[in-house]
Structure formats: structure tokens, C-alpha cells
Amino acid sequence: MSTAAGIAMSNNGLTTLSEDEELFRASVREFAEGEVRPRVEAMEHGSKLDAEIIKQCFDLGLMAIESPEEYGGAGSTIFNAIVAIEELARVDASVSVFVDVHNTLVTNAFMRWATDDQKKKYLPQMAESRVGAYALSEAASGSDAFALKTRALDKGDHYELHGQKLWITNGNEAEIFIVFATVDPEAGYKGITAFIVEKQFEGFSVGKKEDKLGIRASSTTELILDNCKVPKENVLGEAGKGYKVSIETLNEGRIGIGAQMLGIAQGAYEAALRYTKEREQFGQKIGDFQAVQFQLAEMAVEIEATRLLVYNAARLKDAGKPFVKEAAIAKLYSSRCAERVSSKAIELFGGYGYVKDYPVEKFWRDSKIGAIYEGTSNMQLQTIAKLITSGK
């Protein structure tokens, strides 16, 4: 099947998958249904990913989808990565974002910016067992990512990092971190540099885990850098070019978040659809009422539109075509879709939708983060507006 950008993949349209892609989707769904779903409730209540699920994600190759085969990866596409993220989010968004960040942010940054020696050292580890995390945000540096305060002092044969990072996904599980710090505050964004930091480095520690509304099993932590010593060879890209590393990596990462939101919407919709075929009122299944059918139809339309946007952005990226605007559109729309569909699912469940005995309230809680992380909805609108007004 052609990956030509922005056109139908076959007579059935852009959402058609090749035979290999369908097989891959089926394998991820089997894992999600058979291994993840039985553990979702326990992970949610424990606010922690099951260690066996983490191990299986590595064993199944889900942590190295795009990583080249020579480094132990599958050498596959971002399209397959977002299919995996979607299928996992359909069951549990926490497992989904765990896989997403490792692939679309951390591995992607290594593939794009790492030296050959860095790739040889770290990519095999990240394919086999060591989790990655991406540390950009700070207390005063969210949407204004380049207002970061973390300093990197040149000590000759190494850098010394001082500062604090917040809201770091995979913070508790990760052993390899991409940390952004400035080597020259006076240079503004041109002083920002990306560093490869290992958990065992002197002066590095993981702080508190946030108590969150949704994606509760996913660890979101602070990182503390207290005279953290980082070897000179662990600069990712060039010193002072960290802003390019972050921007270009996050552009791909937004497609992953779009896929996560798509999966959340799909999972909520399927739960609601099943329930309307079971619940009876006034002597008939509630799904037999036209008003309910119309609501389900609206949900299905939004999900299909989201799928087209997310898949198109991924196809564009794989085809080497411009995709930044499409990624921003996909993330913006998918976050709205996930929130609307999961909210409607709660209403279709009625009172049962509001209690934790049923799954849809969790889908709704998990959906809210989509409008916030890896670029808020307002930042996506800003990107879209900038690109369309400049004729791109």
C-alpha cells in the first residue's frame, strides 16, 4: 500500500491498512485485551503500572517500533507506532502514554539527533529494557517552553546541571532521560541544550509523583538536578541547539497524542454501544430509541474524522512530507473528540456512568490531559494559524 501523503490509500480511503499493518494492529489488540485489560482496575487504584506489563511491552517490541533493526528495533514506521498507541489507549490510556513517550519522543529524538556512538550505546538498551523519558517542562516553563531555568555549567570534561523539572511522564520507570537545560541564559533559546541523563548519574533524583485526575497509573513526576554530572559526550545534538531538538521531536509526538485520544474515544464509544444494547427502559433496549441512535451516530462521525486526521498526519510524516500543521490539527481535534465522546458515553450510561464500577468515567478523566500536554490546545491553534496565514 502506498504511503503517499494526503491521498486515499485505496478505494476504501485513508484509514485502510495494509495486511502487515492489520496483523500488527491485531497483535497489539490481543495484548491489550488479554494482558492489559485485566490489570486496568488494579493499576488505576494503585496509581502504578504493572511491572509485568512493562516487561511485556519490551518483549513484544512495542518499545522500539521505529528504532532501526541494527539497534534491536523493528525498523518500522510512525504509522505502526500510532496504531499501537491507539489500540492501547482503547483499553488503558496510561499504558498507551507510557509506550507513546518512549517511542515518539525519546526514541525519535535519538534517531534524529544522536551521534552514532550514542545510538549504539542507548538505542539497544531502550529496545530491550530501559525506559525513556523526556524532561522539558518546569514550573515557569510550560507553553513558554524556552523560559526554562535549569542551568548547565561547563566544567571542562563534563557539564553540571542544576534545576528542577516538572510533570515528567515515565518519571518513576525511566532510566534514560532527555533533559533540557541552558548553557547560556543570556543567549535566550539559543543557549538551550539537550542532554542524555541516566538515572544513576551523580546529582540526579526523581521527586514526588503527581496525584492526577486521569492517566493515574502513568507516573508524572518531578526531577531534581543537584550538581548533576553529565559527560560531555552526552550532549544530544549540538550545544545551543536544544530548541531544535525539542521542537522537531514534539511535532512528531503530537501525532502520538492524537492517537492516544483517538483510542480513548474509541474505547468509550464501544463501551457505550454495548451498554445501549443491554440496558432496558420502557420495555425496550435503550439503543432502539432513535434519540440514542443519533447520539451514537454523532460519536461515530467524530471518531472517524479524528482517525482520518491522525492517520493522515502519520502518513505524511512517513512519506517525508510536511506534517507540522496536520499534526497540530490532529492533536487539537482528537483531544476535543475524546472529551466529547467520553462525556456523551457517561450520559448514555446514566447514573451508572458516573460511578467507578463502569469504565466510561475513567475514559473521560483520561481524555482531559489531551488538551494540555505536548502543547495545549491554544498552542496548537497558534501553530495552525501561523502556518495557514503564511501559506504553508
Query: What's the sign of the alpha-carbon dihedral 131, 201, 159, 231?
Result: negative
Q: Is residue 5 included in any domain, yes or no? A: no
Listed residue (23, 99, 8, 7) closest to 59, CA to CA: 99
Both 165 and 210 in a single domain?
yes
Grid-cell match 498526519, residue found: 313
Domain ends where: 192, 212, 241?
241
Q: Indicate whether 323 and 297 sit together in one domain.
A: yes
**Amino acid 185: pLDDT:** 93
Answer yes or no: do 276 and 381 share one domain.
yes
Task: Decide if 361 contacts 354 (C-beta within 8 A).
Answer: yes
Out of 209, 241, 273, pick the residue that ends a domain.
Answer: 241
CATH of the domain at 75: 1.10.540.10
Q: Residue 249's CB: how many other CB atoms inside 10 A?
A: 25
- Any domain includes 13: no
Is the residue at 1 inside a domain? no
Does 381 share its domain with 268?
Answer: yes
- In a shared domain, residues 155 and 106: no
Instruction: Please work out, in degrees rounded to the nearest 5, the angle formed at the alpha carbon of residue 315 by the alpha carbons of 314 and 319.
Output: 120
Give the global pTM: 0.95
Q: What are phi and psi of 57, to 5 degrees?
A: -60, -40
Measured distance CA(226)–CA(229) in Å, rounded: 9
Task: Count the helix, strand and coil residues of the chain and give each as a percent rounded to the nearest 5.
Answer: 55, 15, 25
Q: Which residues pair with 230 in a beta bridge?
A: 159
Give yes or no for a contact between 292 and 286, defined as CB atoms under 8 angstroms apart: yes
- 64 neighbors 108 (Cβ within 8 angstroms): no
Whether 61 and 79 map to the same domain: the answer is yes
Its domain, for residue 67, covers 19-131
In tens digits, the chain (392 residues) has pLDDT values of 333 333 333 334 567 899 999 999 999 999 999 999 999 999 999 999 999 999 999 999 999 999 999 999 999 999 999 999 999 999 999 999 999 999 999 999 999 999 999 999 999 999 999 999 999 999 988 888 788 999 999 999 999 999 999 999 999 999 999 999 999 999 999 999 999 999 999 999 999 999 999 999 999 999 999 999 999 999 999 999 999 999 999 999 999 999 999 999 999 999 999 999 999 999 999 999 999 999 999 999 999 999 999 999 999 999 999 999 999 999 999 999 999 999 999 999 999 999 999 999 999 999 999 999 999 999 999 999 999 999 87
Distance CA 32, CA 21 (A): 16
Are both 126 and 138 inside the same structural domain?
Answer: no
In whole angstroms, how far apart are CA 332 and each of 153, 232, 376? 37, 38, 8
Residue 349 DSSP one-character state = H
| Count of structural domains within the chain | 3
Is residue 319 within 8 Å of 389, Cβ to Cβ?
no
329 is a domain residue: yes
CA 262 to chain centre: 11
374 with 256, same domain? Answer: yes
- Boundary (domain end) residue, out of 90, 113, 131: 131
- Interatomic CA distance for residues 242 and 159, integer angstroms: 15
CATH of the domain at 227: 2.40.110.10
Residues 251 and 366 both lie in one domain: yes
Q: Are residues 155 and 122 in the same domain?
A: no
Q: Identify whether 3 is part of a domain.
A: no
Q: What single DSSP character describes residue 32? A: I
Any alpha helices (H) in 242-350, and if so which ranges? 242-276, 290-318, 324-349
Catalytic residues: 374
CA distances in angstroms from 193 to 55, 86, 185, listed in the order given: 32, 32, 11
